[in-house]
Amino acid sequence: MIEAAERLALVAERELEALVGVSTPSGDVAGAEEAVALCVAFLPPDAEPERIDCSTPGHARDLLGRLRGSGERRLLLVGHLDTVVAHGAHRTLTRERDRLLGSGTVDMKGGVALALGLMRELAGRPERYAEVAVLLVNDEEWRTVPFAHTERFRDWDACLCFEAGEVDAEGNDAVIVRRKAAGTLEVNATGRPAHSGSAPHKGRSALLALAAVAQRIASASDPAGPDRLTAVPTILHAGEAFNVVPPNGRLVCDLRADDLAAFEPVLAAVPDELDGVSIESALVRAWPGMDTRFATAGLLERAAERLGRPLVASERGGASDASHIAQAVPMTVDGLGPRGGGAHTPHEWVGADSLRSRAEVALALTASILGD
């Protein structure tokens, strides 16, 4: 199958241009519908497109495209179409030497283009699989509700997720088989207002209470510890006037660890009351960790043999829908997309040459999974 990489990469660049041409900030239904329509058009004619409810209410429905064959194994390809870029900041695709620049190129429309290309290659090989499906969701970037699709794919043989690719320090192709769990902790404080000049003692400052809570949360960080826990306050809003003791405020913290259970001591460090200020806290986003190193070790070895070059198991701190799928499909590999940088910034890009090298990786893994 690896011989198809050049063809797959050539078409992927054209389809990437079309996908990046559509602005798809997470939650925008019109943009998502336009992007989904493109993806349906890029699926092979034999594929069965289906719209399924998005995990997040109010978002456009997700896309599931299926190929059915006469073989035995079932393979899932995963990606997302939403970005963090607002319409006003959206950039269509341009090329500067080997770089393809544009909103969502690396996170993750480049990966989506490769996944769709892989579906077309597999359409001509139905004897190799019982079913191949591509799942493209519209809420990955801002989802705070549980992921809705994990159980649908329980007992499938393997999953490939097309988040951005990478290389190791020696320049060898790497894929992601380990990710930290991720959580978003929100803390709301309610105090009492007072004139900050004439009667500050009558007030109860939500700002000072949240600042103290932020310190407690930050002190729980233990990146060198057994769970590699990081607890980082990232947003603090309090007060509306320069001469009033702030009566209300909100603190947001980003939590990462190898396991969700490691967040429990952080949550326990947040009091219900502090200096007369009422405090409420909640973990508003919780994504599981992923560790498929053992389950995928043999797969990576077989794929490296097909590639004729090393394929390295790597890890990444950022969250991904691969982490959800891995709870039901142990043989899950992420980071199949093209290499690039600048995710979530105006300078987002992918390397044009990496479209081919990452297509080779995806094809080698697929062949090793399906026994081609």
Identify the band that residue 372 occupies on the pLDDT scale cut at 50, 70 and 90: low
Residue 127 has pLDDT above 80, yes or no: yes
Are 311 and 68 spatial neighbours (Cβ–Cβ below 8 Å)?
no
* CA–CA gap between residue 124 and residue 360 (Å, rounded): 18
Supply the DSSP string of 58-109, one letter for each residue.
Answer: TSPPEEEEEEE-SSS-EEEEEEE--BS--GGG----EEETTEEE-TTIIIII
Which position has the higher pLDDT, 95 or 1?
95
Residue from 152, 178, 180 nearest 166 by CA: 178
For domain 2-179+289-370, the question of CATH label 3.40.710.10 is answered with no
> What pLDDT score was predicted for residue 1?
77
Write the pLDDT tens digit of every residue in 38-65.
Answer: 999 999 999 999 999 999 999 999 999 9
Residue 260 has pLDDT above 70, yes or no: yes
Position 2 scores a pLDDT of: 78
**Is 181-287 in CATH node 3.30.70.360?**
yes
pLDDT for the residue numbered 132: 98
Confidence of residue 82 (pLDDT cuts 50, 70, 90): very high
pLDDT of 319 above 90: no
pLDDT digits (tens, 9 = 90+) for 335-368: 999 999 999 898 999 999 999 999 999 999 999 9
Q: Which alpha helices (DSSP H) does 104-164 contain, by range? A: 110-123
- Count CA atoms closer than 13 A to 207's CA, side-chain side: 12
Yes or no: say if 51 and 70 are a contact pair by the CB < 8 Å rule.
no
The whole-number average pLDDT for the span 280-301 is 96
Over 70: is that where the pLDDT of 69 sits? yes
Mean pLDDT of the chain, nearest integer: 96
Nearest of 22, 25, 50, 27 to residue 38 by alpha carbon: 22
Q: Could you tell me the residue ranges of all domains in the chain?
A: 2-179+289-370, 181-287
Q: Decide if pLDDT at 76 tops 90.
A: yes
Whole-structure pTM value: 0.91
